[in-house]
Chains A and B, each alone.
Chain A
Amino acid sequence: MAAEGGNGKGAAGPSGPRTYPDFSAPTVDKVMVEERAAALGKRSIKKEAKVAGLLLSIAMMDLTTLEGKDSPGKVTQLCQKAMRPHASPEVPPCAAICVYPKLVPVAKHALAGSSVKVASVATAFPSGLSALDVKLDDVRRAVAWGADEIDMVIDRGALLAGEKTRIFDEIAATKEACGSAHLKVILETGELGTYDLVREASQIAMLAGADFIKTSTGKVTPAATPAVTLVMLEAIRDFFYATGKRIGMKPAGGIRTAKQALHYLVLVKETLGDAWLTPDLFRLGASTLLNDVLMQLETQRTGAYQSGDYFSKD
């Protein structure tokens, strides 16, 4: 496998140099896209719509812990929380737990028999700055250990240097290494600089075989924003118009409040419509969001805002 697969060389087939699809994407106007994203944040979500939205956001949550100090104990706790976020029976389990590869077996064990998936970051997360075969090995191990979903990072340095085919090849190779595991491609939009490049990177990722595109690692500021999410949702829409294929979306990083979660749901509802309002096609990557959502749900149920001590901190 060509670790330094450059332009046009990475996936050369038997019949000569590989041809690539057109990566070009429509341009994005910064002012207008930010205005539209902010406007959708003004939707007034009350009462039963609020409860339904909050429950949906829990079902879409990738409960995440990506710290150097993560331990089996911490991950096990988080798995318990993901399977049963709250005592109330109406609260669904989260979509997945997202951990580093080494902790995948722990999570797999803790989640056995549940609907909660195990997602693992891989490909030299968070920078992606390793040789391709090392990154692919990272992916294969995570899958072998039981990961259902792989959250890969793209090599932003290569993208910024204009090596688009390299990004395409790496994603395609990672997809292949995933086997039956779902592939989420993290663009790390906070490092891309322009919405135009975010849009183009989304297009490359989808063309290369991403099942999901994801904003951020959570290690870079800014992480997910409504505007960057809208840009990616619009890329997904164009891809759907052209192919009929539905790609998923995962904003991640900096989503801490129930209000933010509802804002993201509104973005999805009014950009891509009903089909995407499912954990199969929309996820929220978050580490501290769940308790705020639970607190809001309890506020809706009881009419009183409760202290944080009434919710388990995991």
Chain B
Amino acid sequence: MTAKETIASATNGETHAAPSSPAQRAALEFGKAWTYAPAPEAADHVRIDPRYELFIGGKWVAPSSGKYFDTVSPSTEQKLSEVAEANERDVDLAVKAARNGYEKYWSKLSGIERGKYIYRIARVIQEKARELAIVETMDGGKPIKESRDVDLPLVAAHFFYYAGWADKLAYAFPGRSPRPLGVAGQVIPWNFPLLMAAWKLAPALAAGNTCVLKPAETTPLTALLLAKIIEECDLPPGVVNIVTGAGATGAAVVAHPDVDKVAFTGSTDVGKRIQKALSGTKKKLTLELGGKAANIVFADAPLDQAVEGIISGIYFNQGHVCCAGSRLLVEEGAFEPLLQKLRDRMQTLRVGDPLDKNTDVGAINSKMQLDKIRELVEAGEREGAERFSTPCELPTRGYWFAPTLFTGVSQSHRIAREEIFGPVLAVMTFRTPEEAIEKANNTMYGLSAGVWTDKGSKSFWVSQRLRAGVVWANTYNKFDPSSPFGGYKESGFGREGGRQGLLPYLEVD
């Protein structure tokens, strides 16, 4: 019996007057009955230097080319600072410094001493969490709510977690005498700038390696603030080096002959190029690439909570999440009620100033990314899918995209196959669990998935058949440093987080 029939039969009793055409009246309004005043996080105490050099060998070094590039706030298009552009010579200096740091200091320290340094980094990050969160939000456009409550706590937790492993590596791999690799070259993306730096640096340092880290060109600031923290924590020179720049700088890090291990998080395109470049070399490689995750909702799911999971799955961090639940697969019987709830819920999303503590969806990270989202959304419209975007007012300056979903999507549509990396959800339906699994797995990616059902046995049955590195059941986007994360197929290989996350940075017999 549907909800409507339920009520119809209830109204046959004496207790109700029969409602007149409920469908017409049953629309919720989320307007201005009681509005929240702006609640901007104060940023005036945050100091961003007008210019940042490269952090090499424990010193701040000017780039050999003398070139700098601007980093702008995507929510205001204002320049925040300018940052050194490292070329091959600078990268070479950084790798040499890392090698020196490895041979002279880091490899000579006991695990317990390395652990102390990493714990110290974690504690200072906690102390400066507020400042780091604000800069993360200014430079990247993500809501302060997220950088404050998700990014920064996870960043500190990651360093704490791996600090604990530093003197216990022998226990992580019993009887297999784990040894560090040497110098790790690490290239990270712009969606979780500081968190990705933590995911890369913490396990590498705990395992006894030294690092050359290249942050993304649109979001270099928090990595540079992390360099200052590392300086403050008095790490031996060269143990962590941070070189800023665009794709060419990253390519130089990856291609440097004295790098022993490459770790990359970013697009599948670049990942493929890196893998090609590294073929035939001794370098170890891990790749964490794109995704097109299926969020599967069965009719017996807790629907109101599933809506929250769907929202968090695709609109968290403007959808700039490699494990975003960008394909919603709904069992046919639940489609109508779920979509009604979802559309109403989308209307309550507050899009705007990322520094406002009540903002749910912030700015798109860059003009380039905004163009890509627009292109794919237009493709979705052209291919005949039905678009719904929230009727929110977007700021006139900066890069913005209203939370959007498409219904009437086919497996063959571009919006169902390509990673949009924006706040755009493709909704499809299925009839049987087998069909859900087939559709979920019918993608070149395999990073994550979600399953929503009240039935535990179904939850396990389905998740065992999903080819995805992470499967969330009745939740989405949950992270913990103790839990390994990584992909199947073109989502990459290697795991980050947990005991498994140490392995890519170790030689084990």
Contact = CB atoms under 8 A, between A and B. Distances in A.
Interface stretch (B169-177, B248-256, B303-311, B499-507): B303-311
Interface string B213-242: 000000000000000000000000000000
B348 interface: yes
A44 interface: yes
Interface in B369-412: none
Contacts of A175: 15
Given A28-B302, A33-B305, A241 B34 contact: no
A154 B20 CA distance: 29
14 contacts: A22-B9, A28-B305, A44-B358, A46-B38, A49-B35, A50-B37, A209-B15, A241-B3, A242-B3, A242-B4, A242-B22, A269-B33, A270-B30, A273-B344
A270 B350 CA distance: 11
Contact of A275 (B14, B29, B145, B475): B29
Contacts, number: 143
A26 B9 contact: no
A208 B6 CA distance: 12
Contact of A19 (B9, B14, B25, B341): B9
Interface stretch (A75-83, A139-147, A156-164, A231-239): A231-239
A33 B29 CA distance: 22
B280 interface: no
Interface of B: 1, 3-7, 9-16, 19-26, 28-39, 145, 149, 300-305, 308-309, 337, 340-341, 344, 348, 357-358, 454, 474-475
A172 interface: yes
A26 B302 contact: yes
A274 B145 contact: no
Q: Which 7 A-B pairs have the closest CB atoms?
A: A244-B25, A21-B10, A32-B305, A274-B33, A209-B15, A44-B39, A244-B22
Contacts of A44: 36, 39, 357-358
Contacts of A70: none
Nearest to B2: A242
Contact of A36 (B301, B308, B358): B308
A262 B309 CA distance: 25
A18 B337 CA distance: 29
A32 B309 contact: yes
B7 A21 contact: yes
A130 B71 CA distance: 72
Interface of A, helix, strand, loop or mixed by DSSP: helix
Given A240-B26, A241-B26, A269 B34 contact: yes
A165 to B, nearest CB: 12
A237 B15 CA distance: 19
Given A49-B36, A241-B340, A22 B309 contact: no
Given A239-B7, A270-B30, A270-B348, 19 more contacts: A22-B5, A26-B303, A28-B305, A32-B305, A33-B305, A36-B308, A44-B358, A45-B37, A45-B39, A172-B15, A176-B14, A242-B3, A242-B4, A243-B11, A265-B34, A273-B30, A274-B34, A275-B28, A277-B34
Contacts of B344: 273
A26 B36 CA distance: 31
Most buried by B among A24, A273, A277: A273
Contacts of A47: 37
Contacts of A274: 29-34
Contacts of B37: 45-50
A197 interface: no
